[in-house]
Structure 1
């Protein structure tokens, strides 16, 4: 763990001491090296936990998410170069330092074996995200988006802290490996039920569950490209990961608790897909599609079977790469047309033919076309939910249909049709953008060949 953590922390002095001319090159190259080294975490092992120390350990559930976290930092850096071009060097350095700061917190959150360490790092990721949204957002509304993000997260996570302290008094330990060996601490009493509810609430807001999702579209629309990528690809996954990790403390008798969450998650997948069909803002549309996909992850994590956990893991990784790529594509359009309104930025295929290829690939993976890992994940989750209750097939089936509809709508609106008359000249797509898209789509396509790397099942 330290051989990734120490180079990651050393990125901070590198950012502050690099000459302005080589700032982006040094940081991007260094973070790409860290991302390459992190791939060793995916190697199969006979042991349930790798790199085990007193505080951290890596198991098949956390290793894919850790690699995704390392992989996304260089991509965020590549995507942000144009956005901060006009800024003075000191502000560029602050921007880069803010992005780098999120990485150690996220790595610790995904690998923490001590519940209190997990809580602290889970909360700490909020600070750099808030700085990115409120300082480098594009419009004055970014302040209200930041307030939404802050208060939703803080109000939901205070009960989580209380439950962690209660669990410590009950069991005498907060170590996850020890707690696995104990009986479920939260039994089917009123205290147990309320504690289970409080435990889930923080993760449901982070994931987000439909009904608790209002902060997400606001934050996405106002955030700079790095903030959007960070939110979509990593911070939402903390919610799903938290549900999977903490579900072992709950007694299986309190399955009554699952019904409201499952209903909201599946209904939310349906509703947010419908909302996407009438969105006029491109970034808002991609943000709502994230809520729809994470609804399936929550539903799968709640029924707690091996199949559903595996499907949730694959969907989290696939969605992380796909939604991040869609935000990057939306940003390339925004940088050229200075508008996110679909009607004003249509018909870009004749003007940017190579970008149209990336749009097609990203949209096809988003709508879970075979043989992508997105399809594998959705099929696994739908099968697990169908085995749990046959009624769910109506909701999941309709949600899948609507996902295909709004994805095709997004593709046709941005790429086809006649370009608006006010677009007289447009900047060509450059190598940096093509490298960025390649680094997003390559892992997605390579994982089709060996999906068990991200399935969360011990090899």
Structure 2
């Protein structure tokens, strides 16, 4: 694995757009072939290593990184600072991979915080509207508010355990330490009431920024919770009910909020908050089924939401609007595009054989073993999730088209990019037995 990390480091100064895109695809295939049969644990060195969780997220990072270059081809064609853009994406992907490989909490914290900087530069540098400055400010303030308590708690942990390695820290029962450490992950997921930065960041970000935010950055919060919750095994039973009920009820309210959105990217952003609330609930239960379901839902949501943001960006590129009052009747003019909207909205509402379906079954199986009343809230949440996905599909593809603008036609590369999102999302359920 170290050879791939060094290769990506030396890839940064080359500033080659399509060469970087191709290299990430080749690195993905190479890592998958090398580690797919013995990824349960592999030590790299210098407090870096790979296990099942990090292996899957590294593959997801490389796959989304490859698709980000394809989705951002207009930046290259228009020469909109494409070399600097390539350097930023290379740095961001490398930092995310190092975050998932970290076996030391301090290293994990450093790489976790560094990943905010290239993301902020993507939003401010290639965003669409002047409000991108405010969106970047919101993202930084929420992240700093959550990360500073975690830094203080790291000092406390080192004083008590004389180490910050994940394997040496166990059985902490301080509820205040639990809240200080996990606050940053609750902001990053984000949990309901800590989510206000995410819709603003998504709306103002370029398509690559939205893809990396929805596909990877939100998953950092879930990955951190999966890593850190085992430290508080003595405290979990006291906190499960509060966090699970709050996250599921919050996701249900966000699902209702999706039904009144008029901006297409805003609707998809709020749907991400709704899905990640289910991940938070499954992670807090800490049952074997619920943890597996949370892991699979993060993988499935990373692919599905990234594809939906790509579709929204394609509409914005050839119609110059994201308003759902104006985007209507697409099934008459772009039937192939409507087919992709149907397939991805079906994945978003967890139709079979989508990975989202199996992950939600696993999560609710774990929740059911803990409390039957929480499952009732989750079933209502699933109903509302299906409602806003169907609402999004019908309002875009049906109705009367406003004839006040001209169209640009899509290229084969756009459909190929959507296929590369959809295919693994619906084929990965065959590999559940390997996990």
User: Which band: TM-score by shorter chain?
Assistant: over 0.9
The DSSP-based 3-state class of the residue aligned with 1:82 is helix
Partner residue of 2:73 out of 59, 70, 81: 81
Partner residue of 2:26 out of 33, 40, 44: 33
**Who is 2:252 aligned against?**
270
Shift of 1:329: 0.4
- 2:387 is the alignment partner of 1:405: yes
Contact map agreement 2:236 2:284 (CA 8 A) in 1: no
State which drifts further: 258-267 or 226-235.
258-267
- 2:106 is the alignment partner of 1:125: no
**Who is 2:410 aligned against?**
429
**Who is 1:281 aligned against?**
263
Contact map agreement 2:75 2:82 (CA 8 A) in 1: no
Partner Cα distance (1:443, 1:289) in 2: 20
Partner Cα distance (2:19, 2:226) in 1: 37
TM-align CA RMSD: 1.5
The one of the two structures with greater contact order (alpha-carbon pairs below 8 A, sep at least 6) is: 1
Q: Deviations over 1:141-191 (max 9, x none)?
A: 100000000010011111111111211111111111233xxx41x22xxxx
Shift of 1:451: 2.2
Q: CA 1:414/1:117 → structure 2, altered by over 3 Å: closer, same or farther?
A: same
Contact map agreement 1:109 1:121 (CA 8 A) in 2: yes
Partner Cα distance (2:61, 2:14) in 1: 20
Shift of 1:107: 0.6
Q: CA 1:54/1:193 → structure 2, altered by over 3 Å: closer, same or farther?
A: same
Unmatched 5+ stretches in structure 2: none
Shift of 1:84: 5.2
Partner Cα distance (1:163, 1:294) in 2: 25
Partner Cα distance (1:209, 1:452) in 2: 30
Q: Deviations over 1:213-264 (max 9, x none)?
A: 0000000000000000000000000000101100111142453233332222
Partner Cα distance (1:25, 1:103) in 2: 15
Contact map agreement 2:2 2:44 (CA 8 A) in 1: no
Partner residue of 1:292 out of 271, 274, 282: 274
Partner residue of 1:219 out of 183, 191, 201: 201
**Who is 1:260 aligned against?**
242
Task: Provide the aligned length of Structure 1 versus Structure 2.
Answer: 435
Contact map agreement 2:248 2:278 (CA 8 A) in 1: yes
Q: Deviations over 1:358-401 (max 9, x none)?
A: 11111111110012110000111112112111111221111100
Contact map agreement 2:243 2:281 (CA 8 A) in 1: yes
Shift of 1:25: 2.7
Partner Cα distance (2:166, 2:286) in 1: 17
> Equivalences for 1:240-255 in 2 at 5 Å?
240-253=222-235, 255=237
Contact map agreement 1:139 1:222 (CA 8 A) in 2: yes
**Who is 2:367 aligned against?**
385
**Who is 2:290 aligned against?**
308
Contact map agreement 1:351 1:426 (CA 8 A) in 2: no
- 2:320 is the alignment partner of 1:338: yes
Partner Cα distance (2:363, 2:265) in 1: 26
- 2:127 is the alignment partner of 1:137: yes
Partner Cα distance (1:97, 1:430) in 2: 26
**Who is 2:36 aligned against?**
43
Using the size of structure 1 for normalisation, the TM-score is: 0.92
- 2:347 is the alignment partner of 1:365: yes
Q: CA 1:68/1:282 → structure 2, altered by over 3 Å: closer, same or farther?
A: same
**Who is 2:308 aligned against?**
326
**Who is 1:18 aligned against?**
none
Using the size of structure 2 for normalisation, the TM-score is: 0.97
Partner residue of 1:57 out of 49, 52, 58: 49
Partner Cα distance (1:118, 1:64) in 2: 17
Contact map agreement 1:208 1:239 (CA 8 A) in 2: yes
Q: Deviations over 1:196-223 (max 9, x none)?
A: 1111111000000000000000000000
Contact map agreement 2:40 2:51 (CA 8 A) in 1: yes
Q: CA 1:251/1:27 → structure 2, altered by over 3 Å: closer, same or farther?
A: closer
Partner residue of 1:444 out of 418, 425, 433: 425
- 2:120 is the alignment partner of 1:104: no
Contact map agreement 1:41 1:63 (CA 8 A) in 2: no
